[in-house]
Amino acid sequence: NIEKKMGLKGSATCEMTFGETKPAVGYLVGNVHDGIAQMFNVIEHARMAIGMKSMSQLSCAYLNSLDYAKTRTQGADLPKAHDKTSPRVAIIEHPDVKRMLMLLKSYSEGMRAFGLWTANLRDLVDVEKAKKTDEATKKAHLLEKMQDLSLPLVKGFFSEKVYDLLSISLQVFGGSGYCKDYPIEQYIRDQKIDTLYEGTTQIQAQDLIFRKILRDKGEVMKVVLGGLEERLAKGMSVDTLKGDVELIQKGYAHFQKMTLALQEKIGENLYHAGLQGNRYLYAFSTMMISSFLVEHAAIASEKMKTAKGDDAHFYRGKVESMRFFAREIMPEMKRDLEVISNSSLHIMDVPTECF
């Protein structure tokens, strides 16, 4: 009917032009000069959504990889590899596959906890504002600032790290993962855009450093790190976890020195923020994730005392995620400290013609 009224036939296209016969009218949404504020409100919601979408994609990839590793039989157990009579085993029994799966598991669980913690801050803001008292309003403002600081971490780190981790997920599948028989190849293609729109990772890093840390001289950051320290303290209160939590605390000490080193470097030249911003954002995010894994492990350790069957395995899995992260990921903090402390501007002096 529409095609007949418009005189169209078949699959003809129709273009709509505003202002062709009379001036188009634009209506102001909100007050004058509110546009930027409205835009940032939309972007903040979008960045949160992108981070959680990235985390969800990683979780789904991990579960697919886990299922495949449990059912795919290939080769003998490594110590018996030269024994032709030894039985073939599921690939989850091979050391490197276990390592890859635990890498996916620990990041999935840590990112989920960090993301939900960040999202909950927004809920707490609304709760405090509803009280309509001066004290509650002040608390709501602080909670809002804490979420603002977390957003570039959730969006920037989650999107970047998940893209890398999806290649690990595909590796579990071997060559089969490259085919459309399994979903991982599509996950990788779909994931890359998350590092780009709503602000590239470098934009997130500059937002974190300049607008979320330096602008208020790190006051909100101190509150966020205070919560991190409380979570690490919970882990230290559990005797069986102390050794691993100490490794994370050592990484935290490196991170604190890294923060001071970057601040000093930025004081010398703003180029350092551009050169080392992403590295710092990754380190901050990694520290936050490690603290939530510690909190999980502390709770799980208590639950394991009475848990049985699948519950017992579930809770031990939480402990093992933290232990793996402490031993395999936290040493990166020392490397990042060294890189940032020795940050050089020599690359900025390289002529364009040399590239």
Q: Per residue in 263-306, pLDDT tens?
A: 999 999 999 999 999 999 999 999 999 999 999 999 999 999 99
For residue 147, is pLDDT > 80? yes
- What average pLDDT does this structure show over 149-176? 97
- What average pLDDT does this structure show over 186-205? 95
Highest-confidence range of 172-181, 192-201, 292-301, by mean pLDDT?
A: 292-301
Q: What average pLDDT does the chain have?
A: 94
Q: What percent of the chain has pLDDT over 90?
A: 85
Give every CB contact of residue 93 below 8 A, 6+ residues apart in sequence: 77
Where is average pLDDT lowest: 39-48, 67-76, 198-207, 319-328?
39-48
If one compares 285 and 25, the residue with the highest pLDDT of the two is 285
- What average pLDDT does this structure show over 320-341? 98
Q: Distance from CA of residue 1 to its chain's centroid?
A: 50
- Work out whether the CA dihedral 28, 30, 36, 40 comes out positive or negative: negative
The confidence score (pLDDT) of residue 39 equals 83
The confidence score (pLDDT) of residue 5 equals 57
Residues identified as active-site: 198
Q: What percent of the chain has pLDDT over 70?
A: 96
- What average pLDDT does this structure show over 222-232? 98
The confidence score (pLDDT) of residue 105 equals 98
- What average pLDDT does this structure show over 129-143? 96
- What average pLDDT does this structure show over 45-54? 95
For residue 341, is pLDDT > 60? yes
- What average pLDDT does this structure show over 176-185? 93
If one compares 155 and 15, the residue with the highest pLDDT of the two is 155
- Work out whether the CA dihedral 183, 186, 191, 197 comes out positive or negative: negative
Q: Hey, how many other C-beta atoms are within 10 angstroms of the C-beta on 328? A: 13
The confidence score (pLDDT) of residue 13 equals 63
The confidence score (pLDDT) of residue 278 equals 98
For residue 196, is pLDDT > 70? yes
Residue 280: closest CA among 204, 198, 222? 204
If one compares 9 and 283, the residue with the highest pLDDT of the two is 283
pLDDT confidence bin for 8, thresholds 50/70/90? low
The confidence score (pLDDT) of residue 43 equals 85
Q: Which DSSP string corresponds to 179-218?
A: STTSTHHHHHHHHGGGGTTTS-HHHHHHIIIIIIIITTTT
For residue 16, is pLDDT > 80? no
If one compares 27 and 50, the residue with the highest pLDDT of the two is 50
Contacts of residues 336-339 at CB distance under 8 Å and 24 or more positions apart, as own/partner, are 336/254, 336/258, 336/279, 336/280, 336/282, 336/283, 337/254, 337/255, 337/257, 337/258, 337/261, 339/276, 339/279
Q: State the DSSP H helix or E strand holding residue 7, giving kind and residue range, or none if neither.
A: none
